[in-house]
Amino acid sequence: RFNAFVFLYTDISKKLTFNPNIIYQRKGVTSNLLLQALFNYHIKPEKDISVTFGLGARIVNNLDIPIYLALDMKDLRVGLAYDTNVGGLAGASNTYGALELGITKIFNWNKKATVKPVFICPRL
- As a whole-number percent, the residues of the chain with pLDDT over 90 amount to 50
Per-residue pLDDT at 52 exceeds 80: yes
Q: Pairing relation of β-strands 49-59 and 30-44?
A: antiparallel
Cβ–Cβ under 8 Å, residues 95 and 87: no
What does the pLDDT read at residue 108? 83
The confidence score (pLDDT) of residue 83 equals 85
CA 93/CA 83 separation, integer angstroms: 11
Output the pLDDT for position 92: 60
**Four-residue CA torsion sign, 98, 54, 17, 4:** positive
* Banded pLDDT at 29 (limits 50, 70, 90): confident
Strands 76-85 and 96-105: antiparallel
Cβ atoms within 10 Å of 65's Cβ, excluding its own: 16
